[in-house]
Amino acid sequence: MWIPKTEAEIDNAVANNSLEETVTFDAKKEIPVKNPETAKDVSAMANTAGGVLIYGIGEDENGFPNVLNPILLEGQRERIDGILRTSIDEIPVFKISAIQTQADSSKGYLIVVVPPSERAPHMVIVKGERRFYGRGETGNYVLSQAEVARLYERRKIAESNILPILEENIRQFPIEEDNGFAHLHVVIKPVLQDENLLDKALLPQQNYIQLLNTSLEKIIELNVFKKSIEPDIYIKNWLRRADGFLSKMYEPSAGNYEKYALYLEVNFDGSGSLFCNRAAETIIQRNYEDKWFYSDVVAGNTIKFLFLFSELYKRASYFGMVDIGVGLTGLENSIEQYVRNSFDRNYHYDKSDYRRAKRVSAMLLEENPKQVAADLLMPLINALSQGKYNPFEKK
């Protein structure tokens, strides 16, 4: 799915005659005067495979979108947003952005990204219209009764919770249980299943290992989490399995390396899991025993895990909804490492387990994996530190 970010990208695509109307792409010379037309375009994409609408590109004499026609941008994002929020039931997820032209910043192109919707079908309800639309290779069409029924059935499947998957992941504990540690489990999966999602992320002549390592390299290059942690997600050998790939990462500086283990799993359908054995660790100092909780380890690895999958989804042009589940076990008697001396030492966490789940769009995950991780983890970290430490704050 092509989503231009700059005017140059649009200019080059038009100059190369590479644009054509498809199931997932449409370009229009201007925003339609009639609101139902805009509502039909967006609902049809949401009900089908998702897609991208660009306003400001017209058709040539052969019907191909190859004529640049920058539109006046002032107020147009708000106009489209208002149309979609009042003309479709229920409102699908969408994102509107603008690209200004260098010649005239008041003009440019409006880009509307519409993920495939797990809540489909979405009905157009403006001006007496009460119909469901789908999208084909050359435009929109009214969905048949059977197609609408299938979408409602798919919605039921999509409503299933990720927590049972998280519990199964925790049950299949990858290494021997050790009460001296607390353990982090994170699972992720696209709501709309695609068994070949990872294939769609591949570049020409690229294999799966290259794809995974390139994505991990970007985590390192961008310094996604700036604090030093161990264990840490890094580039390691991948073991191919029937449903995807597994990497076992150990902290080389650790004496008992398996106790500092981190397991990373990426599946062909875009789902995956993370296991970190060192969410907390029992430390004995001066004959005093404490179970230190490492907020930085938990937060840092969760952010990097989410960033990795956001990168894979972006490369695969998946912008739909994603389910994420976080679980921690073995927490009982833990105390946050950085604040253990700043308040009553007799305070220790009194519960063994923690669970939290969240559904977000892949677009939001790409924009701010740090915030998604914070939403999942800060209730626990605030309890462990009594609100005195936040690993997501810049230091």
Given a contact cutoff of 8 angstroms between Cβ atoms, the answer to whether 17 and 62 are in contact is no
Residue with tokens 């229920």: 90
| CA 183 vs CA 176, 199, 262, 294: distances in Å | 12, 31, 10, 11
Last residue of a domain, one of 129, 155, 181: 155
Specify the CATH number for the domain of residue 83: 3.30.950.30
User: Same domain, yes or no, for 183 and 134?
Assistant: no
Given a contact cutoff of 8 angstroms between Cβ atoms, the answer to whether 270 and 312 are in contact is yes
Q: Phi and psi dihedrals of 30, rounded to 5?
A: -155, 170
pLDDT in tens, the chain (395 residues): 788 999 999 999 999 888 999 999 999 999 998 889 999 999 999 999 899 999 999 998 888 899 999 999 999 999 999 999 999 999 999 999 999 999 999 999 999 999 999 999 999 998 888 999 999 988 999 999 999 999 999 888 877 789 999 999 999 877 777 788 999 999 999 998 899 999 999 999 999 999 999 999 999 999 999 898 988 998 878 999 999 999 988 765 555 566 788 999 999 999 999 999 999 999 887 777 889 999 999 999 999 999 999 999 999 988 889 999 999 999 998 988 887 665 555 567 889 999 999 999 898 899 999 999 999 999 999 999 888 899 998 75
| Structural domain range at position 107 | 7-155
Q: What is the pLDDT of residue 236?
A: 78
User: Same domain, yes or no, for 148 and 167?
Assistant: no
CA–CA distance, 226 with 299 (Å, rounded to integer): 11
Tokens of 59: 């058709």
Domains in the chain, number? 2
DSSP 150: H
Q: What is the pLDDT of residue 345?
A: 56
Among 342, 212, 319, smallest CA distance to 268 is for 212
Given a contact cutoff of 8 angstroms between Cβ atoms, the answer to whether 110 and 96 are in contact is yes
Q: Compute the radius of gyration of the chain from its Cα atoms.
A: 24
Hey, what amino acid is at 35? N
Given a contact cutoff of 8 angstroms between Cβ atoms, the answer to whether 317 and 367 are in contact is no
User: Same domain, yes or no, for 277 and 128?
Assistant: no
Q: Phi and psi dihedrals of 276, rounded to 5?
A: -125, 120
Last residue of a domain, one of 101, 122, 155: 155
User: Same domain, yes or no, for 167 and 151?
Assistant: no
Residues in Cβ contact with 93 at an 8 Å cutoff, skipping those fewer than 6 apart: 46, 114, 115, 117, 320, 321, 361, 363
DSSP 20: -
Q: What is the pLDDT of residue 256?
A: 58
- For residue range 25-60, list pLDDT tens digits in order: 999 999 998 889 999 999 999 999 899 999 999 998
Q: What is the pLDDT of residue 255?
A: 56
User: Same domain, yes or no, for 23 and 121?
Assistant: yes
User: Same domain, yes or no, for 380 and 252?
Assistant: yes
Is 48 within the bounds of a domain?
A: yes
User: Same domain, yes or no, for 214 and 341?
Assistant: yes
Last residue of a domain, one of 155, 176, 201: 155
Q: What is the pLDDT of residue 386?
A: 86
User: Same domain, yes or no, for 206 and 280?
Assistant: yes
The pTM is what? 0.84
Q: What is the pLDDT of residue 290?
A: 84
Is 62 within the bounds of a domain?
A: yes
CA–CA distance, 40 with 62 (Å, rounded to integer): 24
- For residue range 3-21, list pLDDT tens digits in order: 899 999 999 999 988 899 9
CA–CA distance, 7 with 17 (Å, rounded to integer): 16
